[in-house]
């Protein structure tokens, strides 16, 4: 694709500047929220009993599951669509968003008693019903946030994210200091969501939301969102579903080690996903709408920026993961070290595939993205079952790690069909990854 390869010098400096600024704000916001979360946990664990965090973990997991299984891509549709700046389209999207929030709360209420019975925790029923109000409140959040992301105006939305989280955390701490109950965690979350919803309407510029139901907009939203719905369900299965399978294949002790290693290995992944979702997907969408011949050049630059720091972290984990986990945890958790090293080895190639994220959505090819997710799920689950059968815990961890290696040829084939596969960038990294794998595993 000669046009794509020669377009790098023609990328508008203004777009590049907006991408860099948006990336900086995204990193700042994500980092600040992680520091606030760590500080909050240190304080709250001293004010509340451990069971409170166990119950809240179940509540949050169920809420995330309901959210993912009802995701119809409202924000992504506004970012991607050529009509994303039209009031009729945006307000129809907002109306769907409001309805979805109410339905999520209803689903949580219906699940409350069965889950309380399943876990043997009667209080869980009340917690899910009350915590679910956050979904209703969040449903009324303004589409101005999606519009700001569409135009890479990340500064104000980042401040809203950080400010609302900090305010909710403050409520949690003050409430816990006074009441010492799990309701401090629930109400703090609700207050944080309410603060974000109010700020999104008051502080951001853009189209004021009102209830609307335009059939043409509804059809466009449904066409784009139906595959995001399927994709979110597959993503849930690939993440939480695979974890449930791991819990079945491993004993509880080994599962704890794996969870610690996986959380560490996914730190760079979460940063990349934040940048992809809030910066690169809007940037790719703008280029596809206005200057599609320049997409290859932007993808090439953005992928290199993603891959290099991701790789540096992964290589560090490969060679020093065991020592790192021994420093962070006591001897009981030493098995998490080799697991981290193995998972990081898999991420060396997995990161190359992940760096293509956002391209298919920007081109409106959500179905193709969903098919890739389905293939990834099939490969990972198959590898996990076979790996566990042949090698126990070590075989299972190897299977999870190298599912990314097995998926790369699939991504290469898919993106080569779009003239967007970049072997000159990818193959040298793969070659070095093979050498590292041989040196570590031999």
Which range has highest mean pLDDT (33-42, 213-222, 403-412)?
403-412
Is 90 exceeded by the pLDDT of residue 21?
Answer: no
Q: How far apart are CA 267 and CA 262, in angstroms?
A: 9
Percent of the chain with pLDDT over 90: 33
Q: Is 267 helix (H, G, I), strand (E, B) or coil?
A: helix
Two structure tokens written together for 43: 């304080």
- How many CA atoms lie less than 13 Å away from 141 in the CB half-sphere? 26
Domain ranges of the chain: 48-225, 250-442
324, 263 Cβ separation under 8 angstroms: no
Q: Which of 8-22, 224-238, 340-354, 382-396 has the lowest mean pLDDT?
A: 8-22
Please tell me the pTM assigned to this model: 0.70
pLDDT given for residue 425 in this prediction = 92
- Using CB atoms within 10 Å of the CB of residue 46, give its burial: 0 to 12 exposed, 13 to 18 middle, 19+ buried: exposed
Is 90 exceeded by the pLDDT of residue 343?
Answer: yes
Under DSSP, the state recorded for 276 is: I
Task: For tokens 């794509």, name the residue.
Answer: 4
CA distances from 226 to 95, 278, 367, 390, 423 (A): 17, 21, 9, 38, 32
- For the chain, the straight-line distance linking the first and the last C-alpha, in angstroms and rounded, comes to 40
* pLDDT tens digits along 45-75: 778 776 777 678 778 878 888 888 888 888 8
pLDDT band of 251, cuts 50, 70, 90: low
* pLDDT tens digits along 178-209: 988 889 999 999 999 999 999 999 998 888 99
Backbone phi and psi for residue 137, each to the nearest 5 degrees, phi listed first? -65, -45
3-state secondary structure 371-422: HHHHHHHHHHHHHHHHHHHHHHHHHHHHHHHHHHHHHHHHHHHHHHHCCCCC
pLDDT band of 237, cuts 50, 70, 90: low
Q: How far apart are CA 28 and CA 34, in angstroms?
A: 10
Q: How far apart are CA 411 and CA 121, in angstroms?
A: 44
Task: For tokens 């939305």, name the residue.
Answer: 157
* pLDDT tens digits along 296-323: 888 888 898 889 989 999 999 999 999 9
pLDDT given for residue 324 in this prediction = 87
């Amino acid at each position: 694709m000669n046009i794509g390869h020669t377009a790098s010098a023609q990328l508008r400096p203004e777009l590049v500047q907006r991408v860099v600024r948006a990336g900086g704000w995204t990193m700042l916001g994500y980092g600040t929220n992680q520091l606030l979360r760590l500080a909050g946990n240190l304080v709250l664990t001293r004010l509340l009993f451990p069971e409170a965090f166990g119950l809240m973990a179940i509540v949050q997991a169920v809420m995330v599951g309901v959210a993912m299984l009802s995701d119809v891509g409202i924000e992504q549709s506004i970012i991607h669509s050529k009509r994303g700046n039209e009031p009729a389209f945006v307000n129809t999207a907002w109306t769907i968003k409001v309805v979805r929030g109410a339905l999520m709360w209803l689903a949580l209420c219906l699940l409350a008693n069965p889950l309380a019975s399943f876990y043997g925790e009667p209080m869980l029923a009340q917690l899910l019903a009350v915590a679910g109000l956050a979904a209703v409140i969040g449903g009324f959040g303004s589409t101005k946030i999606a519009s700001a992301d569409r135009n890479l105006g990340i500064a104000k939305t980042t401040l809203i994210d950080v400010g609302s989280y900090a305010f909710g955390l403050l409520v949690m701490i003050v409430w816990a200091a006074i009441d010492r109950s799990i309701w401090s965690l629930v109400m703090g979350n609700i207050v944080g969501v309410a603060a974000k919803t109010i700020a999104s309407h008051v502080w951001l510029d853009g189209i004021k939301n009102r209830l609307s139901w335009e059939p043409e907009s509804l059809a466009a939203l449904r066409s784009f969102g139906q595959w995001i719905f399927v994709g979110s369900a597959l993503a849930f299965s690939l993440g939480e579903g695979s974890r449930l399978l791991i819990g079945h294949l491993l004993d509880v002790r080994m599962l704890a080690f794996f969870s610690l290693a996986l959380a560490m290995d996914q730190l760079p992944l979460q940063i990349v996903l934040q940048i992809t979702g809030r910066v690169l997907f809007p940037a790719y969408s703008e280029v596809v709408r206005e200057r599609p011949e320049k997409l290859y050049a932007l993808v090439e630059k953005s992928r290199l920026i993603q891959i290099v720091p991701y790789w540096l972290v992964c290589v560090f984990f490969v060679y020093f993961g065991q020592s790192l986990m021994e420093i962070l945890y006591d001897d009981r958790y030493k098995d998490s070290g080799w697991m981290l090293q193995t998972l990081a080895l898999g991420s060396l190639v997995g990161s190359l595939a992940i760096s293509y994220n956002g391209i298919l959505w920007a081109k409106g090819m959500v179905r193709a993205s969903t098919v890739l997710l389905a293939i990834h799920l099939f490969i990972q689950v198959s590898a996990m079952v076979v790996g566990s059968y042949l090698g126990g815990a070590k075989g299972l961890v190897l299977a999870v790690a190298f599912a990314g290696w097995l998926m790369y040829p699939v991504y290469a084939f898919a993106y080569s069909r779009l003239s967007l596969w970049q072997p000159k960038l990818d193959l040298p990294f793969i070659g070095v990854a093979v050498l590292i794998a041989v040196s570590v595993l031999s």
